[in-house]
Amino acid sequence: MEIRNIAIIAHVDHGKTTLTDAIMRQTGMFETGMSMDTDAIEQERGITIYAKNTATIYKGTKINIVDTPGHADFGSEVERVLRSIDSVLLVVDAQEGPMPQTRFVLKKSLELGLKPIVVINKIDKPAADPNRTEEQVLELFMDLGATDEQMDFSVIYAVGRDGVAMKNLDDERKNIDPLLDEILANVPAAPNNAKLPLRAQPFSLAYDNFLGRLAVARIYEGTVRAGQSVFVLTPEGKKTSGKIMKLFTFKGLARVEAEEAFAGDIVMVAGLPDIFIGETICSEEDAEPLPAIKVDEPTITLNFLINNSPFAGREGKFLTSRQIRERLEKELEVNVGLKVDFRWNPLKFTAGESST
């Protein structure tokens, strides 16, 4: 089965998560009411904070989709994802046009040599002007130094809320299939290097109370199997050995346990408790490590102080510094944009994300 790996990027609230939800529903991966925004804070604020993987099957091809945050505060979630996919859907609001975060995420994707597919979304808004927006996107590509090949991007018009996409503005609004057909036509198939020795690279982390740290990784070469002994190579040259205890692939938002997975796929592995973003999982001790993934340094610093307000302790479920510490330690298992210094009093931490 051929595999396509894409990420959806956009400015905050331009509709990329709604568009992803529509793709999943129409391909039978989601039930009505399900959404990519599963975190409690995401649902409360109506924005994406954490990059998430999902996958669907369309016309016999597996499409791995990574939904990324659209807010600049969560930039570390975006950059490392772009290293692990083969193309991006750049979603732009037909009324607002390109916005600051549109420039940021597009610049990163162009620097990596990716050729985006532009999706002009929300064309049903009262002041929508898809033609003007398309011209503004073209100007943005020029400003960012896109190559001639990147400038020759495909354009799809969409109303993500209604689950429809069109190749041309005058086309009938039926379903999301025109967008999926464009993905099959313009996103290169992931290289099938399954016969080579294993080399995979984590670009995201997760945590399970029973399995411990989980690594979401792109397999670049070879085959990974449950129970397989592997080596982990760090960018600094450190080498450790380990064993893949559990292996999962993605079906919709669900992780599905698998016995093996092949080059080109995106998987989740358990059994490597110290695995980190950008390291190389390989089957041979003398393998060449993959280029490291740089994680942005934190941008916000917060100090946690004792609450000396007259209303201290009157509301909230977790009220002690010990419970705050436990929550931060749990977040450190998966949030690579977070740094915590427990040595000082008051408790102080520096974060690239402000969600904790």
Phi, psi values for residue 326, rounded to 5°: -60, -40
Reduced to 3 states (helix: H, G, I; strand: E, B; else coil), residue 249 is: strand
In the chain, ranges of CATH 2.40.30.10 domains: 199-282
Nearest Cα to 84, choosing from 62, 110, 64, 56? 64
Cβ-Cβ contacts under 8 Å for 174 (sequence gap 6 or more): 164
H or E element that contains 189:
none
The bridge status of strand 117-121 relative to strand 154-159 is parallel
Cα separation, 25 vs 31, in Å, equals 6
In the chain, ranges of CATH 3.40.50.300 domains: 3-186
pLDDT of residue 147: 94
- Which CATH number is 199-282's, of 3.40.50.720, 3.30.565.10, 2.40.30.10, 3.30.1600.10? 2.40.30.10
Phi, psi values for residue 127, rounded to 5°: -105, 20
In the chain, ranges of CATH 3.30.70.870 domains: 300-351
CATH of domain 3-186: 3.40.50.300
Nearest Cα to 250, choosing from 268, 226, 275? 268
Reduced to 3 states (helix: H, G, I; strand: E, B; else coil), residue 62 is: strand
Cα separation, 197 vs 249, in Å, equals 20
pLDDT of residue 327: 78
**Domain 300-351 coded CATH 1.10.645.10:** no
Q: Which residues of the chain have pLDDT under 70?
A: 30-51, 69-77, 79, 295-299, 313, 315-319, 333-337, 343-356
Q: Distances in Å between the alpha carbon of 330 and those of 113, 259, 340? A: 35, 29, 11
Q: Which residues pair with 39 in a beta bridge?
A: none
